[in-house]
Amino acid sequence: MKLTKFVSIGIALVVGASASILSSSSRAFGAEKVVLTFGPIAQTIHISDLEDFAKNGTTTPTIKQIIGFSKMDPQVLRGLMSLEIGLKPAILARVVYSTPGEKITDEIAQAIRTHRRTESGKALRAAVILAAGDDGKVSLLEILKKYPLPEVYVDVASIAATVGKIQGLAGNLSSLLQDSMRETTRTTETNRTESPIEPRRSVPPINPTPARRPSAPLPAPLPAPAPQPVRPVRGLW
For the chain, the distance separating the N- and C-terminal CA atoms, rounded to the nearest angstrom, is: 139
Q: What is the chain's pLDDT, residue by residue, as a tens digit (237 residues)?
A: 433 343 343 444 334 434 443 444 434 456 899 999 999 999 999 999 999 999 999 999 999 999 999 999 999 999 999 999 998 888 998 999 999 999 999 999 999 999 999 999 999 999 999 999 989 999 999 999 999 999 999 999 999 999 999 999 998 888 888 887 887 676 666 666 555 555 555 555 555 555 555 555 655 666 665 656 555 545 444
- Read off the pTM: 0.67
Tens digits of residue pLDDT in 120-146: 999 999 999 999 998 999 999 999 999
Which SS3 state, helix, strand or coil, does residue 172 take?
Answer: coil
Residue 19, in any domain of the structure: no
Residue 118, in any domain of the structure: yes
Nearest-10 Cα torsion for 7, 13, 15, 21: -150
Residue 5, in any domain of the structure: no
Residue 211, in any domain of the structure: no
Domain total in the chain: 1
Bridge partner list, 44: 35
Tens digits of residue pLDDT in 178-208: 887 887 676 666 666 555 555 555 555 555 5
Residue 202, in any domain of the structure: no
Residue 214, in any domain of the structure: no
Domain span at residue 107?
Answer: 31-190
Residue 15, in any domain of the structure: no
Residue 209, in any domain of the structure: no
